[in-house]
């Protein structure tokens, strides 16, 4: 089960030291802006993925007066996960006392989804954001996906290096094309199968949560090259263009999930509030698919849900999240801003955060 029972934070932003005994249901953090609520959520994502939803400069997470930040968690499945980060030596990640070379094993133990103001980028941002969303799901349900995904990145890096040379080695280029096509086919197949399973679940959630607010909607998976052609043919046809730009123009690195409201892109027609409901629907559906496929639950980090959603829609989104029966971390300024219906209220822990100090 993907549930954090205990979370320790040391020297992360303004939280010098905190030890939280967590609920497997809702964990509500309230307090003034800048108090450290979001830092708690940030620490969980940092532990689960090595990333922050607030910044790409991870050294800035370390408290200004300290040299090392540490996050440690005990998981209900009897696993212990620890991460330390220093400004000079980078990070060290451990799972049950064993040092980890990457985040694969930890990410499977802590499948984390984030809902915050930056979630709008899923619609407003470029294809990279939607690929990342899609690949998160594929990673969790298809064990071989990450290996093939890494192969495509290696092939693309070497192919692009050849393309940038003043005289392109055509024999080497053909060799990397062959490797790329094999890996790309596996990546595309895994993505397409996942997307095929995802869409009906999304439609079901969308019907109950967002359709009355947003209207007709469609999702389409675009694999990153002409759907009617083999990638090998596309690479050959576009070789001169690739050489001109020094980069591969077609392939799995160009894949996208196209979200349309009617005949136009959703981001062009929907209000900010409607976009937030839609993004919530996408992420809730992904959590449902994870549970159906693996009998595990997502951990949801929900930062400032009241922002840009009226009370009725806040309650609808929160009710859907609670129905997933996973662990929720929710922040708000005023505790009263989130009203949880008594009939669906799970076990809940409430924390007040003030100037980096957390009290239950």
How high is the pLDDT of residue 309? Answer: 77
Structural domain boundaries in the chain: 1-111+299-360
How high is the pLDDT of residue 211? Answer: 75
Whether residue 27 contacts residue 61, with contact meaning beta carbons closer than 8 Å, is answered with no
pLDDT surpassing 90 at residue 297:
yes
Q: How far apart are CA 110 and CA 100, in angstroms?
A: 15
How high is the pLDDT of residue 357? Answer: 95
pLDDT surpassing 80 at residue 338:
no
- Strand 68-75, strand 90-95: pairing: unpaired
In the CATH scheme, what architecture does the domain 1-111+299-360 have?
Answer: 3-Layer(aba) Sandwich (3.40)
Q: Where are the alpha helices (DSSP H) in 97-255?
A: 104-109, 121-124, 127-141, 145-164, 170-209, 211-214, 231-237, 239-245
pLDDT surpassing 70 at residue 274:
yes
Q: Where are the alpha helices (DSSP H) in 33-77?
A: 37-49
Of the chain, the percentage scoring pLDDT greater than 70 comes to 98
- First-to-last alpha carbon distance for the chain, in angstroms, is 24
Residue 68: which residues within 8 A CB-CB, separation 6 or more? 11, 62, 84, 85, 86
How high is the pLDDT of residue 83? Answer: 97
Residue 169 binned pLDDT confidence (cut-offs 50, 70, 90): confident
pLDDT surpassing 90 at residue 212:
no
Residue 283: which residues within 8 A CB-CB, separation 6 or more? 113, 115, 119, 300
Tens-digit pLDDT profile for residues 46-73: 999 999 999 988 889 999 999 999 999 9
How high is the pLDDT of residue 344? Answer: 60
Residue 262 binned pLDDT confidence (cut-offs 50, 70, 90): confident
Q: Is 51 helix (H, G, I), strand (E, B) or coil?
A: coil
Write the CA distances from 1 to 4, 49, 78, 229, 293, integer angstroms.
9, 18, 10, 42, 14
> Which one is predicted more confidently, 264 or 340?
264
How high is the pLDDT of residue 345? Answer: 63
Q: How far apart are CA 190 and CA 143, in angstroms?
A: 10
Whether residue 133 contacts residue 286, with contact meaning beta carbons closer than 8 Å, is answered with yes
pLDDT surpassing 90 at residue 276:
no
Tens-digit pLDDT profile for residues 99-123: 999 999 999 999 999 998 888 889 9
> Which one is predicted more confidently, 262 or 257?
257
Q: Average pLDDT over the chain, rounded to whole?
A: 92
Residue 173 binned pLDDT confidence (cut-offs 50, 70, 90): very high
Q: Is 79 helix (H, G, I), strand (E, B) or coil?
A: coil
For residues 236-251, give the mean pLDDT: 95
Whether residue 205 contacts residue 285, with contact meaning beta carbons closer than 8 Å, is answered with yes
Residue 342 binned pLDDT confidence (cut-offs 50, 70, 90): low
- Chain centroid to Cα 302, Å, comes to 12
Strand partners, 10: 17, 70
């Amino acid at each position: 089960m993907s549930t954090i029972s205990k979370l320790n934070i040391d020297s992360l932003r303004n939280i010098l030291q905190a030890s939280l005994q967590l609920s497997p249901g809702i964990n509500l953090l309230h307090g003034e802006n800048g108090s450290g609520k979001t830092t708690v959520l940030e620490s969980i994502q940092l532990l689960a993925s090595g990333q922050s939803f607030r910044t790409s400069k991870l050294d800035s997470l370390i408290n200004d007066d300290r040299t090392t930040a540490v996050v440690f968690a005990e998981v209900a499945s009897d696993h212990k996960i620890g991460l330390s980060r220093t400004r000079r030596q980078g990070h060290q990640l451990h799972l049950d006392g064993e040092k980890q070379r990457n985040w694969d094993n930890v990410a499977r133990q802590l499948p984390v989804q984030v809902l915050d103001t930056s979630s709008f980028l899923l619609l407003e941002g470029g294809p990279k954001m939607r690929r990342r969303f899609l690949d998160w799901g594929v990673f969790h349900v298809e064990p071989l996906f990450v290996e093939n995904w890494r192969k495509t990145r290696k092939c693309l890096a070497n192919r692009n290096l050849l393309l940038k040379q003043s005289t392109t080695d055509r024999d080497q280029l053909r060799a990397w094309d062959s490797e790329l096509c094999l890996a790309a086919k596996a990546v595309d197949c895994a993505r397409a199968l996942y997307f095929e399973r995802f869409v009906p679940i999304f439609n079901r959630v969308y019907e109950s949560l967002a359709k009355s607010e947003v209207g007709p909607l469609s999702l389409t998976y675009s694999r990153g090259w002409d759907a009617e052609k083999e990638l090998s043919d596309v690479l050959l046809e576009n070789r001169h263009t690739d050489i001109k730009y020094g980069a591969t123009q077609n392939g799995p690195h160009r894949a996208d999930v196209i979200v349309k409201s009617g005949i136009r892109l959703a981001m062009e027609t929907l209000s900010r509030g409607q976009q937030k409901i839609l993004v919530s629907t996408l992420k809730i559906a992904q959590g449902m698919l994870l549970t159906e496929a693996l009998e595990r639950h997502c951990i949801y980090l929900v930062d400032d849900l009241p922002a840009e959603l009226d009370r009725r829609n806040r309650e609808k989104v929160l009710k859907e999240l609670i129905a997933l029966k996973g662990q929720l971390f929710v922040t708000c300024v005023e505790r009263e801003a989130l009203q949880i219906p008594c009939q669906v209220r799970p076990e809940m822990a409430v924390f007040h955060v003030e100037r980096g100090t957390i009290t239950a």
